[in-house]
Chains A and B, each alone.
Chain A
Amino acid sequence: MTTPLPDGVDPADASDPDFWHLRESYTFDRNVIAEIRRAANTGIYRIRGWGAKRRLPTLDDLVFLGASMSRYPLEGYREACGTDIVIGEDRAERPVHLKIPVTIAGMSFGSLSAQAKEALGRGASAAGTSTTTGDGGMTDEERQHSTTLVYQYLPSRYGMNPDHLRVADAIEVVVGQGAKPGGGGMLLGQKITERVAEMRTLPEGIDQRSACRHPDWTGPDDLEIKIGELREITDWQVPIYVKVGAARPYYDTALAVKAGADAVVVDGMQGGTAATQDVFIEHVGIPTLAAIGESVRALRELGVHRREVKLIVAGGIRSGADVAKALALGADAASIGTAALIAIGDNDPAYESEYRALGASAGFWEDFQAGNDPAGITTQDPDLSARLDPVLAGRRLANYLQVLTIETQILARANGKSHVLNLEPEDLAALTVEAAAMAKVPLAGTNWVPGTD
């Protein structure tokens, strides 16, 4: 005998024992079924923004031990706890000086509105840190509003201009990014407006798929020559970073050092994107937690860790706890992208009715490729873009960066450190066997680090 399931009752939540026989497949859950139906209707793979959404081992799986009998803490707000970092002092005439160990990751004008880029520049500058261009060249607005601006050098070379190279404060050679190690950028036709098309020398309205390999170098030996050229063109004035997606971080970091980088940026698979194939986002690369220790191991073995070559870690950084844990594992700074967009208004519940009209909801919006972002951030629509006030949004970002910094200091002082870079792996314990193995810190309550003798 069957009982009809009333409208609006979620079978997974049904409290009526009449429906307890209904069982959703773990393998074919509703999300999987929806994706198969979508693929069958359209014949095209899913493209979206944001980073990996599935559950992954994260920095949350680590805890700080804090002070105890043998370690004494520092007084919060009274005893100093430094947060400044310097990049490139070994080779560049003008090294990058940052007041806080958090930077803003590369995001292009094109994927983001001019207002959003300006807001990122304003917020980062107010907080004393750097912002970064993206796969689309440098705009005058972002140069003007960014005290320290990192110029990305990407496979597509869209908008690549030596005049911009010479006014940048650092150059970041992008080999890959966490959302898609091995994939090029994407910008769909809705966002290729006249200005974006002109900056990238592309026809308006095309679905742009960027190159995934650099056009004039292959492998680390060539990269060394390329970095030499970039230094020559800029008269050895500014530092040069190399950014890689977290794939083989030990080897990639070692090869970036060998190629002559002043900083290595390692971006884990939680790192966001404006538009990429979902299959790439969810299935290529390794989590940020697993990448940090391997990069640090390479830097230590080469004798450059916390010296000539700095390590910047990105991908799913959300809080001062994430920043502090990344630094304790050996990074010199953390970089934020998705979190910065949320700080300036991405997925703002104030636009809930509009997200619903687009078939989403605040907290779920990921269609950055669509160009119709109600918050005016991932769009080139002039009316939507105008919704974002770059001054207020910049102030929100500056506040958020301040919170990240103070939280990092709170944790550093709790572990008795007078500078956030004095945090060390010995201050950490892991809550799961997986995290212990990936981060190479002991499982809490034991002295066991899986994978070591």
Chain B
Amino acid sequence: MTTFDLTGATRRELNQALHDASGGESFEVVNPRGAHAVACGIRADIDVVVRGSVGYYCAGMHQHGRVLVEGNASTGLAENIMSGLVRITGNATMSAGATGCGGLVVVGGNAGARCGISMKGVDIVVGGNVGHMSAFMAQAGNLVVCGDAAADLGDSIYEAQIFVRGDVESLGADCVEKEMRPEHVETLRGLLAAAAPATEGAEVSQFRRYGSARRLYNFTIDDVDALEAEREGAIP
């Protein structure tokens, strides 16, 4: 276990050490004091524990390894995560897991606005509530919310799936409730187990599923000229 104390060591030294790791190493970060871009760009199978709260873009563009934050995280936690695991015990502010392409992000507490915005395959599990416009333009992956969801959930959503245990204040444009079929139950059960203990007490049967009505996928284009031609018998 290598320890970086950010009261002395710089963020650059920490991130360079994480980037230089070849796999199997363990790192501890103490006194992060809200620093931005802590443990971003990891690409090896390593373990990082951050003891305290972090600023923007913690574990940004994460690949392969595991990052645990014992505290809260600000904007863009694990943004564009590709694979691996990022878990925080506390709350995350805006855009947690934004544009993530793979891997798993677990937020123990609540997540703020736009959680899972433009997500592209990541799985995000939130122990508490999510803020407004969560899963905005979400393309692929799963967002699991054990608490409530604020207004405009899943606005302009594509093929991502949303599971909410509590109340949904309102659904965004083109987002609708959908039937929970056996394959969805299976997916949800796996994610609740993978995210434990953040999901403690949550049962699969308590969740509802939301997704795209697919009404915004293509432009609506009229053709009055063709209608006129048809009426005149030009087109049989």
Chain A residues packing against B (C-beta within 8 Å): 40-44, 156-157, 160-163, 165, 188-189, 200-203, 205-207, 211, 215-217, 222, 225-226, 228-229, 232-236
Contact = CB atoms under 8 A, between A and B. Distances in A.
A229 B37 contact: yes
A204 to B, nearest CB: 10
B37 A203 contact: no
A195 to B, nearest CB: 16
B7 interface: no
Given A216-B76, A232-B12, A233-B61, 14 more contacts: A42-B221, A43-B220, A43-B222, A157-B120, A162-B43, A162-B82, A163-B43, A200-B139, A201-B121, A202-B139, A207-B218, A216-B75, A232-B37, A234-B41
B165 interface: no
A206 B217 CA distance: 5
A171 B233 CA distance: 58
B36 A215 contact: no
Interface residues of B, number: 46
Nearest to B219: A207
Contact of B76 (A42, A200, A206, A217): A217
B101 A216 contact: no
A207 B76 contact: no
B4 interface: no
A228 B11 CA distance: 11
A165 B225 CA distance: 49
A100 B79 CA distance: 36
Given A201-B139, A202-B158, A225-B37, A217 B75 contact: yes
Contact of A215 (B63, B118, B222): B118
Given A216-B75, A216-B98, A233-B41, A225 B60 contact: no
Contact of B99 (A203, A205, A216, A228): A216
A205 B41 CA distance: 33
B223 interface: yes
B132 interface: no
Interface of B: 11-12, 15-16, 19, 36-37, 40-41, 43, 55-57, 60-61, 63, 75-76, 79-80, 82, 94-95, 98-99, 101, 114, 117-118, 120-121, 136-137, 139-140, 158-159, 217-225
Nearest to B60: A229
B77 to A, nearest CB: 9
Contact of B61 (A165, A189, A200): A165
A229 B55 CA distance: 11
B101 A203 contact: no
Nearest to A43: B222
Contacts, number: 114
Given A157-B120, A201-B120, A201-B140, A207 B12 contact: no
Contacts of B99: 157, 160, 215-216
Contact of B75 (A40, A43, A206, A222): A222
Nearest to A153: B80
Nearest to A37: B225
Contact of B79 (A41, A205, A216): A216
A234 B223 CA distance: 51
Nearest to B136: A215
A44 B220 contact: yes
Nearest to B120: A201
A44 B219 contact: yes
Closest 4 interchain pairs by CB? A233-B41, A216-B76, A162-B61, A229-B37
Nearest to A206: B217
Given A156-B118, A207-B219, A232-B40, A162 B80 contact: yes
A233 B217 contact: no
A232 B36 CA distance: 10
21 contacts: A42-B224, A157-B80, A160-B99, A161-B82, A161-B101, A162-B41, A162-B43, A163-B43, A163-B63, A165-B61, A200-B139, A201-B120, A215-B99, A215-B114, A216-B117, A222-B56, A228-B37, A229-B37, A229-B60, A233-B61, A235-B19
Contacts of A217: 56, 75-76
Contacts of A225: 36-37, 55-57
Contacts of B76: 216-217, 229
Contacts of A205: 218
A233 B14 CA distance: 12
A226 B94 CA distance: 14
B95 A41 contact: no
